[in-house]
Chains A and B, each alone.
Chain A
């Protein structure tokens, strides 16, 4: 039995995850050719590395097919409606910072807050005969945020990529997306609404609460806790 650790399979997120574990005396590395998604763990017994797309890690954690996984809080909270019972956030890794924000055209000089957005949505619907469209791939989080703040007369339209371009392309009036520096937003003549973002996200080490935690995996998690200097790492993970 081994503890399965799911890590993003490419890009900066993978490199920074490898660095982070490396700093704590655990070496993660890819094995085989550059194109093969196989990996190895050194410095911890009974741990195996699973390389996955960051977007699939929440689902694998919830299904209990991996014990630990590194991914963004945004993806976990969007994809797992019952995330508090399915996973446990063990450690924020301090990189991959991004906020899920709402943005509107910069030329909307009368719109700065959710309050304004709500008022404009009512007027827009009266003028155009349809609800103001907000393009996003984060349907659950955005709906929860807007309904919590009592915003009405909008609709969410799905956008899985190039979301910042939807306003200029006339397929949406506003957007909700992840941003770290805001540069793409500015380049597309959009501005972020004031107030708290929908969500603050960063790369986080999650534990699955549904995975089979046998003796060997428990020991491995405790050993990881020691490597990280966290005696309490196993708290709330095992169901018993």
Chain B
């Protein structure tokens, strides 16, 4: 059989990869999932609206004069959520297996085209149990390989931000930048009073106070473009209010910093977080949820003490997950992409649900990486 790919008889996705994919897919069906599929060509608009320019630089975008921009499926989650939100009954469990396509940066020798086998749970009855179900099912498929699991929880960070003693605008700005840690830190330092406010801001507020906002705008050239003078006026009012805001207390800033620095076994991390909740009590419901999850994992035979909790895990990925997150890595190949990864994405169902929402959690295994690790073991 001829094969077309990187070289003679070398395709990006091998027969061994496909065999592993089929095995995983059937294990997910055995676990009670319904089989689903998604078109390889996805309308780009939904993904661009969700993720903006970042997805354009990670996914292949094609031009189509008739249908508009299309994207080579960068993952299954978004089409599966859309399918479920429009026609699925609850609770539901889905399994899928197929190619996904990702651009890679120059010099990065990772595949641009690979298989994903996934398992998604739409079930709001017991989120902790659903988290544990997905994690344990994926782990069970990798039991024969030496792996290391890292877990995190974006929900804890969100709960911490929600509890900060500051203005709603500042909390919103921090929430928005969870996925951009550099800007997040800069904002936190400024809101905490450690960094001065941007240059020129005080002068602008003073000038507006003296001359009136309309005069200041008019003195700087004609009104132009879609952003209206009203929007400029509203922003200046926000800047003035922000100037009067008192800094976020240092104890609260340090709670956020401590969460970001946390890297411990899961039970120790929970204990440390309980200590932090003394200074920031809004953490408690999220920590109760984490505790329930660890218990549910133990019920499924996962020893929480063997799980590494990383307070920043999931923050470098697409803005997608908003609760439990996990990655499973090959011990022997620390630089390899995670063999399996996933998490909870309740908010995504709200965005795509047109008024409906349902708690959802899921994860994928990369059959190609499993096949490579199995080959290395032989």
Contact = CB atoms under 8 A, between A and B. Distances in A.
Contacts of A152: 52, 176-177, 180
A61 to B, nearest CB: 15
Given A109-B232, A110-B232, A110-B235, A122 B225 contact: no
Given A156-B53, A168-B225, A109 B220 contact: yes
Nearest to B218: A107
Nearest to B222: A189
Interface string B168-185: 000001001100111110
A107 B223 contact: yes
B224 A110 contact: no
A124 interface: yes
A65 B176 CA distance: 47
Contact of B231 (A115, A116, A123): A123
A127 to B, nearest CB: 6
A120 B235 contact: yes
A115 B198 contact: yes
Interface string A184-202: 0000010000100000000
A109 B199 contact: no
B227 A85 contact: no
Given A116-B198, A189-B222, A107 B57 contact: no
A124 B231 contact: yes
B221 A147 contact: no
A46 to B, nearest CB: 32
A127 B198 contact: no
Contacts of A107: 217, 220-224, 229, 232
A82 B184 contact: no
A149 interface: yes
A205 B200 CA distance: 40
B107 interface: yes
B106 A85 contact: yes
Given A124-B231, A194-B199, A82 B106 contact: yes
A105 B226 CA distance: 10
A35 interface: no
Contact of B48 (A81, A115, A118, A155): A155
A105 B53 contact: no
Q: Is the interface of B mostly helix, strand, loop or mixed?
A: helix
A147 B183 CA distance: 10
Given A81-B106, A119-B235, A155 B222 contact: no
A143 interface: yes
Contacts of B198: 112-113, 115-116
B235 A170 contact: no
Contacts, number: 104
A194 B199 CA distance: 10
Given A113-B198, A119-B173, A105 B225 contact: yes
Q: How large is the interface on A (under 10, 10 to 19, 20 to 34, 35 or more residues)?
A: 35 or more
A192 to B, nearest CB: 14
A128 B216 CA distance: 24
B105 interface: yes
Contacts of B53: 143, 146-147, 154-156
A108 interface: yes
B180 A120 contact: no
B239 interface: yes
Which residue of B54, B177, B204, B235 has the most chain A CB atoms within 10 A of its CB atom? B235
A60 interface: no
A238 to B, nearest CB: 20
A168 B223 CA distance: 9
A167 interface: yes
Interface in A198-225: none
B83 interface: no
A74 interface: no
B54 to A, nearest CB: 7
B227 A120 contact: yes
Given A109-B232, A167-B225, A170-B226, A149 B183 contact: yes
Interface in B3-62: 48-49, 52-54, 56-57
A131 interface: yes
Interface in A107-157: 107-110, 112-113, 115-116, 118-120, 122-124, 127-128, 131, 140, 143, 146-156
Given A150-B180, A150-B182, A155-B48, 11 more contacts: A105-B225, A113-B198, A113-B199, A123-B231, A124-B231, A128-B226, A149-B183, A152-B52, A152-B176, A154-B52, A173-B226
Interface of B: 48-49, 52-54, 56-57, 105-107, 173, 176-177, 180-184, 186, 198-200, 204, 216-217, 220-227, 229, 231-232, 234-236, 239
Q: Closest 7 A-B residue pairs measured CB to CB?
A: A150-B183, A82-B106, A150-B180, A106-B221, A81-B106, A189-B221, A167-B225
26 contacts: A81-B105, A106-B221, A107-B217, A107-B224, A107-B232, A110-B204, A112-B199, A120-B227, A123-B234, A131-B49, A143-B53, A147-B53, A147-B57, A149-B182, A149-B183, A150-B181, A150-B183, A154-B53, A156-B56, A168-B224, A168-B225, A170-B225, A172-B225, A173-B227, A189-B222, A194-B199
